[in-house]
Amino acid sequence: MSITILEIASLTGVSKSTVHRALSGSDRVSEDIRRLVLDCAERHQYRPNISARVLVGARTYLVAVLCSDFGNIHFAHFLRGVSKTARDSRYHLLTVNSLEELKNLTPLGMEGVISFYGDAAYHNEPQFEGLPTVKLIKEESPVCEGGDYISGRLSYGAGLMMRYLFEQGHRRIGHITLDQPGDRGINMKFTGYRNALRSIGLEYDPELVAHAEFYLEESGYEGAMKLLRQKNPPTAIFALADILAAGCYRAAQELGLRVPEDISICGYDDKEYSSFLRPPLTTISTPYNELGQRAMEMLVRRIDKLPPVTEEPILPELVIRNSVYNIAAANNGR
Amino acid sequence: MSITILEIASLTGVSKSTVHRALSGSDRVSEDIRRLVLDCAERHQYRPNISARVLVGARTYLVAVLCSDFGNIHFAHFLRGVSKTARDSRYHLLTVNSLEELKNLTPLGMEGVISFYGDAAYHNEPQFEGLPTVKLIKEESPVCEGGDYISGRLSYGAGLMMRYLFEQGHRRIGHITLDQPGDRGINMKFTGYRNALRSIGLEYDPELVAHAEFYLEESGYEGAMKLLRQKNPPTAIFALADILAAGCYRAAQELGLRVPEDISICGYDDKEYSSFLRPPLTTISTPYNELGQRAMEMLVRRIDKLPPVTEEPILPELVIRNSVYNIAAANNGR
DNA sequence: TAGAAGTATGGGAACGTTCCCTTGAGATAG
DNA sequence: CTATCTCAAGGGAACGTTCCCATACTTCTA
């Protein structure tokens, strides 16, 4: 274990109070003694005992990051962002798997919580365990008015893609959505699709929407099959997730349709594999790393009781590759 | 904050010692009082204050997981495994980004450390901060004799692939390795390649080895170009990583070679995208989830001062898809 | 029936830190 | 020269828990 404040005191021949003052920055200590103490602390690699600090209610610079699935690659990127800002602001991170575990760990003295895509059930609580809390959510909604939150802006992303498809001349745009109970984000994307249709001036046609059951390639395949076998099939399919888009590719291949010449396909997520699909998939990328950094910045301000600042929003980006055909140009060229 | 032992004491009218005894399991307390105390604790959702425990040197059930890159998908899976076992054995996890941060957080009272693919520089230290430590390493080596470690067994995985290629009739097998300073694991894979060559009875030919500079698709492309443009090119290329294999695909395509008919390509990692490559990539999968569980089990035993048990090793697995051509069968059929 | 043995409970100290109050010494002013 | 002020430094309490020892009471044994 590390050396304690009391040991430094006896080593330097001053009292623990004086050591504390010297260590905790410019209080009332003479310059000589400060030097002496700081020197001794440095030499013995003194590190304050966080646990003791907690007990007396002092600051800990500990922040909990809540995520129910550590295996999620998006979380991994998010965490990397959080971790970066945390390091810059001398905070320490504590990853927590569930609300139950968070409760068990609160005595460690965390000063705040960052929550990654929590269950919809928790959206209503503005903070966890009475601690300042920043939540990453899939899409803003009135429910979240109370607390601090940062949004993946799925609806915006969906609109981005829809507008792009429209610009490329597509008018019949299919959509594969995912019916996952309790996950508001996905319905939000569906909403994004519908809103975009409206703003573009296209009519909503339920025939153009397939409902996938699982987050699997197979579900995308089935959805695409349903959409493409109609008498008047769409010219483009916007799949809710890249993994579903991969399934669409397989369906297209099986039906003898070329991507993108015969059918345009695009996804959402920009997974690592998406650029390796043939043709490389046009998709939407969410900058989770930046979202993580921003979330931590927001939390730090909140902990410091600073008023929230309105910064430029962090928006999903359109990643244009080769899976969407420019119908407009093709028609012009004809 | 949660209710304290002292508050329960005054609530139930007994002393804090008695409350502590009742709470800490069957010590010397009368059944009546135990009931009374447990009831009160339950009702008020008592949670022991870990920080106070640390201070008096009692158990904390806290374990640190050390990883320098939280964005690593392999780590994400590993962490999921660790987390599962931790939950089952009522341990709590604390993810730590660097050795420096670990040092800062030791006062939280962690009882052990699990380290994910740390720098080679740390391999020599059997434990961090004097705590029981289990390390995930890429490959066993004499260096690690002192401490507890669990191995990804890269060398075994490389051997697995080489034997498979040999069985499929390949005799000129190229290899793309990665020159990363300080990363022993990669040299280990290279060693695995050479060992496998020897055990199979093939001669080592430096002409068949390309050294990639970065962990990038581009590097794989360059490596494959070098190997395939020789006058006597290999019939198969074993790339050090799936991402390099993806680059090999591009090189093959550019040279007008069909995969796998003209050139077999295989990788290592079994990344999510590997099954989406055309043709789907034959590769090696490391069960990081299981490795994480095992690592935590080992650590728990070590913390409990139990002797280590020798269990079945967790081995990488060959994932056969369609990127390796069976030359032997083709020749027979001819 | 006295003393020993055993059992239930209470009380104090300790862990390392921070906060608050006190002490003492030197400087300044009247 | 004394009273007041300033400033450096020391000392004690508190946080919540655990551990150890003390105390009171019961039960057993000779």
Residues B267-319 pLDDT 10s: 999 998 899 888 999 999 999 999 999 999 999 999 998 988 888 999 999 99
Which nucleotide is nearest to A30 if distance is taken from CA to C1'?
D8
Give the distance, in angstroms, between the CA of residue B99 and the centroid of all CA atoms in the same chain: 18
Look at residue A260 in the predicted model and tell me its pLDDT: 94
Give the distance, in angstroms, between the CA of residue B115 and the centroid of all CA atoms in the same chain: 9
Token reading at B36 = 């009374």
Name which of B286, B208, B205 is nearest B241 in CA terms.
Answer: B286
Provide the chain A residues 202-261 that lie in CB contact (below 8 A) with chain B.
246
| Mean pLDDT calculated for residue range B193-215 | 90
pLDDT band at B331 (very low <50, low <70, confident <90, very high): confident
Residues of B in contact with A252 (CB under 8 A): none
For residue B129, give the chain A residue with the closest CA: A1
- The dihedral through the CA atoms of B14, B18, B24, B30 has a sign that is negative
**H or E element in which residue B43 lies:** helix B31-43
Is the separation of the CB atoms in B9 and B33 below 8 Å? no
Of B81-85, B146-150, B156-160, B267-271, which gets the smallest average pLDDT?
A: B146-150
**Strand D closer than 7 A to residue B309 Cβ:** no
Q: What does the alpha-carbon distance between residue A241 and residue A31 come to, in Å, rounded to a whole number?
A: 62
Of A243-252, B158-167, B209-218, which gets the smallest average pLDDT?
A: B209-218
pLDDT band at B189 (very low <50, low <70, confident <90, very high): low
Is the separation of the CB atoms in B63 and B114 below 8 Å? yes
Q: What does the alpha-carbon distance between residue A82 and residue B20 come to, in Å, rounded to a whole number?
A: 38
Is the separation of the CB atoms in A266 and A280 below 8 Å? no
| Mean pLDDT calculated for residue range B8-28 | 88
| Mean pLDDT calculated for residue range B90-101 | 86
Is the separation of the CB atoms in A150 and A99 below 8 Å? no
Facing residue for A92 by CB, picked from B1, B105, B273: B105
List, run by run, the mean pLDDT of 10-residue segments along chain A (334 residues).
Answer: 89 92 83 91 92 91 90 90 93 86 89 86 77 88 69 91 96 88 60 88 93 90 96 95 95 95 96 90 97 96 90 95 92 70
Look at residue A96 in the predicted model and tell me its pLDDT: 86
For the stretch B253-263, pLDDT in tens is 999 999 999 99
Asked if the C-beta of A17 comes within 8 angstroms of chain B's C-beta atoms, the answer is no
Look at residue B146 in the predicted model and tell me its pLDDT: 59
pLDDT band at B183 (very low <50, low <70, confident <90, very high): low
CA of B21 to C1' of D10 (A): 38
| Residue B1 distance to chain A (closest CA, Å) | 8
Cβ neighbours of residue B228 closer than 8 Å, sequence gap 6 or more: B234, B237, B251, B252, B255, B257, B263
pLDDT band at B144 (very low <50, low <70, confident <90, very high): low
Per DSSP, B274 falls in state G
Look at residue A148 in the predicted model and tell me its pLDDT: 86
| Mean pLDDT calculated for residue range B149-156 | 90
- The dihedral through the CA atoms of B105, B106, B108, B113 has a sign that is positive
Q: Which amino acid is at A207?
A: E
A-B Cβ pairs (cutoff 8 Å, strict): 117
Q: Which pairing describes strands B133-137 and B112-116: parallel, antiparallel, or unpaired?
A: parallel
Residues of B in contact with A128 (CB under 8 A): none
Number of alpha helices (DSSP H) and beta strands (DSSP E) in chain A: 12, 11
pLDDT band at B329 (very low <50, low <70, confident <90, very high): confident
Cβ neighbours of residue B161 closer than 8 Å, sequence gap 6 or more: B196, B238, B266, B268, B284, B318
Residue A28, helix vs strand vs coil: coil
Q: What does the alpha-carbon distance between residue B278 and residue B322 come to, in Å, rounded to a whole number?
A: 9
Token reading at B303 = 């913390």
Q: What does the alpha-carbon distance between residue B151 and residue B160 come to, in Å, rounded to a whole number?
A: 16
Look at residue A99 in the predicted model and tell me its pLDDT: 87
Q: E-assigned strands of chain B?
A: 62-66, 92-96, 112-116, 133-137, 148-151, 173-178, 209-212, 236-239, 264-266, 283-285, 317-319
Look at residue A233 in the predicted model and tell me its pLDDT: 96
- Paired strand residues for B117: none
Q: E-assigned strands of chain A?
A: 62-66, 92-96, 112-116, 133-137, 148-151, 173-178, 209-212, 236-239, 264-266, 283-285, 317-319
Give the CA radius of gyration of chain B. 26
Facing residue for B276 by CB, picked from A83, A95, A276: A276
Name which of B248, B255, B256, B257 is nearest B277 in CA terms.
Answer: B248
Residues of B in contact with A288 (CB under 8 A): none
CA of B20 to C1' of D18 (A): 8
Residues of A in contact with B106 (CB under 8 A): 1-2, 47
**H or E element in which residue B156 lies:** helix B154-167
Look at residue B68 in the predicted model and tell me its pLDDT: 86
Look at residue A140 in the predicted model and tell me its pLDDT: 75
Asked if the C-beta of A106 comes within 8 angstroms of chain B's C-beta atoms, the answer is yes
Look at residue B143 in the predicted model and tell me its pLDDT: 58
Q: Which amino acid is at B140?
A: E
Look at residue A185 in the predicted model and tell me its pLDDT: 52
Say how many C-beta atoms besides its own lie within 10 A of residue B231's C-beta. 5
Look at residue B184 in the predicted model and tell me its pLDDT: 54
CA of B201 to C1' of D5 (A): 93
pTM: 0.86
Look at residue B186 in the predicted model and tell me its pLDDT: 56
Look at residue B13 in the predicted model and tell me its pLDDT: 92
| Residue B193 distance to chain A (closest CA, Å) | 27
CA of A30 to C1' of C26 (A): 14
| Mean pLDDT calculated for residue range B225-234 | 96
Look at residue A31 in the predicted model and tell me its pLDDT: 87
CA of A4 to C1' of C28 (A): 39
